[in-house]
Amino acid sequence: MNYQEALNYIHGTYKFGKKIGLTNIRDLLQRLGNPEKQLKIIHIAGTNGKGSVSSFIHGGLSAAGYRVGLFTSPYLETFRERMQINGMKISEDHLIQSTSKVKKTIEEMVKEGKHHPSEFEVVTAIALDYFHNRSVDYLVFEVGLGGRFDATNAVDHPILSIITNIGYDHTEYLGDTLDKIAYEKAGIIKEKTPVIVYPQAKEAWETIERVAKNKKAPIIPVDFSTLVPEESSLKEQSFSVTLGKTAYASIRIRLLGPYQIYNCITALTALDYLKSQGEITYSLENIQEGFYNTTWPGRFEILRDKPLTIIDGAHNPQAAKALRETLGKHLSNTSITFVIGMLLDKDVLSFLQEIAPLGARFILTKPFGPRAAEPKYLEKKLLPYGKPLYLEPAVAKAIDQAFLVNPEGDAIVIVGSLYMIGEARTYIRNMA
């Protein structure tokens, strides 16, 4: 098996993989020697912010001298982004090794009449085998979808669970009310295992609280009351905060948008708690260095200064609102050309209602995949705003069109499906 064959195997499993609760993934992990039981795992669920929170924790622990694994999804440009150790992507050779091992194990399962695991279960097993083989001190483990029946929830004994901001997304799988969605996210809460919880809407909080109480799991709420925002620009922002008796002064981060400060404090709350329990040690300088060096591509990421070109993976109403606030803060006097590509299983109308008033013109494109919304569909939703609309299904051509029609001094913001954002990122970075 070479690298491309490994990727073909991973992505090909959706054709015959079947997911039945957590039965398949637990069987697979047991046959692999239960690597998850030999790792110290920080398990993170939520609708928005879980990737950024994961990255901040990864950065903080790395700066403190620990060997830290990071598992996230989806990826933007290369599959190897999904598994990292101290900021280094998994090598092609290591991916081949773990994929070969998992493939052989699955073949044995199927011969015995077991169901073939789903693609995400295969990826989860590969990741856990890899991180175990590489002897990480800690693994920051991001949920793929939901929580309760997500393949990552085969982890029975994390050292800490975290639930970030909960909103409406994947409602066809997780439920159409906040309490139903929160119940699925709260599925990662384990018996007597502390859970860090971001401030939530009342119904979501009550659901999480009920699940935690049943599991005898202590809740550590994220508290923003001592937050003191400091400087903010299109390059970086800074703040100070006090957690318990510990003051964290002059924390500078390069992830932009007020919501990233909240994500940062969520990560800091987790690290502060682990330190208070004697699990880890770090200095203020470690935190300052680790958080400043944290990057999360595709989240209000500036790719060009002239014209100002930003990509953002916001793809649900809650994320669109956060994007609107960030644009209002930094680009209130700038006209914006939006490039938008969405998936049909998102709340497209609510998403567009958040950002449509900010746009001077819109280029409507189409992400790769069967769930992609046609530009004509987006056009119907945007017609009432009376703004110029351009339809270009090919993402690269849509970006070319944006640069062509964007007046000097205006900004270009490319937003929507992460699948489209990754393609756009690659194309723009390779422009002459």
- pLDDT at residue 305 greater than cutoff 90: yes
Q: What is the CA radius of gyration of the chain?
A: 21
Q: Comparing 44-58, 97-111, 158-172, 259-273, which segment has the lowest mean pLDDT?
A: 158-172
Q: Which tokens in the block code for residue 159?
A: 């050292």
* pTM over cut 0.85: yes
Distance of CA 110 to the CA centre of its chain: 32
Distance of CA 396 to the CA centre of its chain: 24
By the 8 A CB rule, do 430 and 422 touch?
A: no
Residue 175's pLDDT is: 74
Distance linking the first and last C-alpha atoms of the chain: 35
**CA–CA separation, 175 and 322 (whole Å):** 23
Tell me: cis bond preceding 74? Omega within 30 of 0 counts. yes
Q: What is the mean pLDDT of the chain?
A: 94
Residues 3-17: pLDDT tens digits? 999 999 999 886 656
Q: CA separation (Å) from 258 to 8, 44, 129?
A: 39, 21, 37
Give the ranges where 134-196 is alpha helix by DSSP (H).
Answer: 171-174, 178-185
Residue 347's pLDDT is: 87
Q: Which tokens in the block code for residue 134?
A: 């590489």
Q: Which residue, 280, 418, 273, 262, is CA-closest to 341? A: 418
Residue 164's pLDDT is: 97
Residue 413's identity, in one-letter code, is V
Distance of CA 12 to the CA centre of its chain: 23
Give bridge partners of residue 70 from the DSSP assignment.
84, 140
Residues 398-425: pLDDT tens digits? 999 999 999 999 999 999 988 899 999 9
The DSSP bridge pattern shows strands 308-312 and 301-305 to be antiparallel
**CA–CA separation, 28 and 58 (whole Å):** 27
Q: 25 pLDDT band (50/70/90 cuts)?
A: very high
Residues 256-282: pLDDT tens digits? 999 999 999 999 999 999 999 999 999
**CA–CA separation, 342 and 353 (whole Å):** 14
- pLDDT at residue 226 greater than cutoff 70: yes
DSSP SS3 for 104: helix
The continuous run of DSSP H or E covering 329 comes out as: helix 317-330
Residue 375's pLDDT is: 96
**CA–CA separation, 18 and 117 (whole Å):** 6
The continuous run of DSSP H or E covering 122 comes out as: helix 119-133
Domain ranges of the chain: 3-292, 301-429
Residue 16's pLDDT is: 59
The continuous run of DSSP H or E covering 139 comes out as: strand 138-142
Q: 371 pLDDT band (50/70/90 cuts)?
A: confident
301-429 under CATH 3.90.190.20, yes or no: yes
Residue 345's identity, in one-letter code, is D
Residues 354-368: pLDDT tens digits? 999 999 999 999 998
User: How would CATH label the architecture of 3-292?
Assistant: 3-Layer(aba) Sandwich (3.40)
Angle between helices 119-133 and 92-111 (to 10 degrees): 120
DSSP 372: B
Q: Tokens 């939901």 correspond to what residue?
A: 146
Residues 154-209: pLDDT tens digits? 999 999 999 999 987 766 667 779 999 999 999 999 999 999 999 999 999 999 99
Four-point Cα dihedral 100, 112, 37, 7, nearest 10: 30
Residue 237's pLDDT is: 97
